[in-house]
Structure 1
C-alpha cells in the first residue's frame, strides 16, 4: 500500500493553495491525505495545552479549515489530521519516510538555505518526492523534466513520466547543451526505457544552449509541473544550492517536484 500525501499546514496566507494542491495529488494517486501541523520546541511544550487553551483552539481551527479546503478540492478523499511536537522541517522530514509525496509552500530565500527554512531543507533531506507549491500551473501545459544527465535522473524521470501520464500531459525533457559526437547518451537511454513503460506519453527531448536554470524558469510559466532530481552523496544534502536550483526553486512559475534518488520515490 502506498503512503499518504503529507502536507504541512502552518496557517500562512498561501496555505489554502498548498492544501488544495496536496488534495489533488492524493486524489490522483488514490491515496490518503495527511494534514500535519508542527509545534516547534521554541514555542514551549507548556503552551501546547492538551486540556484546552488558546494554542489548541487555534491549531484545531486551522486544521479543520484545511480539511474543509481539501474536501472541497477532492470530496471523496480520506483525510487525517496530526499535531506533532518539533520544528516543522524536522517533523516533515520524519513524516516523509512513510509518505508517497510531501507538499509544502514555496518560499525560498535568496541566500543558501539553512535549518528553519522548511522548503529548502526538505528538498535536501526528505525521503520521498517533495512538491513545492508556487506560481500558477498551466492546466494544458507540459510536465517539464530538468534532464541534467546525472546518476540521480532515473527516479526523477520515472516520476515525471508517471505525472505526465496521470495528467494526460506531454513531457518536455530539457537538457543542458549538446553531447559530444560519439559520446554515450545516458539520458536517451533513460528516456527510452520510460517510454516503454509509458507509451501514452508524448516526449520532447530538447537541448538547451546556455543556462539551464534560466530556461527552466522561463518554461515553467507555461507548464503544469517542473521535475528536478535531488542530487548528492550519501550523508550529504542532496540538492546543491547552485544556479539552476536557485533560479528554479525561487522563481518558477508553477509547482516544482524535487525527487530523491534513494528508493523512496512515489
Structure 2
C-alpha cells in the first residue's frame, strides 16, 4: 500500500517522539505523513447553544489545533521534504487510528499508549502498526521474532532491505518458508538465532541494539493482541516494535 504513514498526536513528549519516528518512516517509504489528533469532545466544556462538534463556534479551534502545529514542527525537523497533513478528529484514539489505518501504509503510536490501541489496530486496522519504544540504533539489525508468519517475515525482509542492514531471525522453525524471501531480497544478510525459551524477557533482550523488532499479531477468540511474550516486548523493548497482522504486510 502506498498510503501515508499515520501517527497519533496528543501533545505529549512521547507523542512528539513518535511523530519524528513516523516522519522518518514516511521519508524512507517515499510517502506522506498524516497527523491524527483524537478529541473526545465534552459537552460540559462547550458554551450553551454551541454544538459540541463545532470547535469554531466554541472558540476553541486554536486550542485543539496546537498539538498538530507542534507535531508538524517536530516532523519537519527530521524530514523537511515530507508532505505533512493533519486533522483534529472526534472520537476515541483507538477508533480514530483504526479508521485512519484504512488508507495508510503504516500506523505509529507512542509506546506508553500502545496496549489498548494495539489491540484495536491489530484486530481491526488495515496496516502494520509501529510501536515506538526505546531508541533505535542507526546501525542495528532488524529482528524477526518468528518466521512462522509469512506476512511478518515479508515485512521484516523489506525493512532490512530498505534500511540496508542485516536481518536476525529468531525461532527459525520455518526456514523453508524463508527461501523465497531470501531470493526476493538477495541483498539482505540473514542470521538465524535460536533462543532457549520463547519468553517476553528473551525477546526484550534480543531488541537491545536493534533498529526494529518485527512480530506477528496472533488472533484469538477473545484477544486481539499478540501473545503474552509479544505484549511484554511492546511494553519493555529497547527499540521500536512492528506488529504485523495477517494479510497486512
Q: State yes or no: 1:201 paired with 2:209.
A: no
User: How many Å apart are 1:122 and its aligned residue?
Assistant: 2.6
Contact 1:135 1:252 in 2 (8 A): yes
Over 3 Å counting, the alpha-carbon distance change for 1:92 and 1:258 in structure 2 is same
Contact 2:143 2:167 in 1 (8 A): yes
Q: State yes or no: 1:82 paired with 2:87.
A: yes
What is the TM-score when the length of structure 1 is the normalising length?
0.84
User: How many Å apart are 1:119 and its aligned residue?
Assistant: 3.8
Give, in whole Å, the separation in 2 of the partners of 1:67 and 1:43.
28
Quick one: which of 174, 188, 192 aligns to 2:170?
174
| 1:228-239 pair list within 5 angstroms | 228-232=215-219, 237-239=223-225
Runs of 4+ in 1 over 6 A off after TM superposition: none
Contact 1:108 1:120 in 2 (8 A): no
User: How many Å apart are 1:190 and its aligned residue?
Assistant: 2.1
Give, in whole Å, the separation in 2 of the partners of 1:237 and 1:43.
33
Contact 1:107 1:119 in 2 (8 A): no
Contact 1:108 1:249 in 2 (8 A): no
Over 3 Å counting, the alpha-carbon distance change for 1:236 and 1:27 in structure 2 is farther
Over 3 Å counting, the alpha-carbon distance change for 1:42 and 1:144 in structure 2 is farther
What is the TM-score when the length of structure 2 is the normalising length?
0.89
Q: State yes or no: 1:102 paired with 2:107.
A: yes
Residue in structure 1 matched with residue 5 of structure 2 by the alignment: 5
Give, in whole Å, the separation in 1 of the partners of 2:93 and 2:244.
20
Over 3 Å counting, the alpha-carbon distance change for 1:123 and 1:72 in structure 2 is same
Contact 2:2 2:31 in 1 (8 A): yes
Gaps of 5+ in 2: none
Give, in whole Å, the separation in 1 of the partners of 2:135 and 2:165.
16
Residue in structure 2 matched with residue 163 of structure 1 by the alignment: 159
Give, in whole Å, the separation in 2 of the partners of 1:225 and 1:39.
30
Give, in whole Å, the separation in 2 of the partners of 1:199 and 1:100.
24
Residue in structure 2 matched with residue 137 of structure 1 by the alignment: 136
Give, in whole Å, the separation in 2 of the partners of 1:43 and 1:252.
39
Q: Number of residue pairs matched?
A: 244
Give, in whole Å, the separation in 2 of the partners of 1:228 and 1:220.
12
User: How many Å apart are 1:257 and its aligned residue?
Assistant: 0.2
Quick one: which of 223, 245, 249 aligns to 1:260?
245
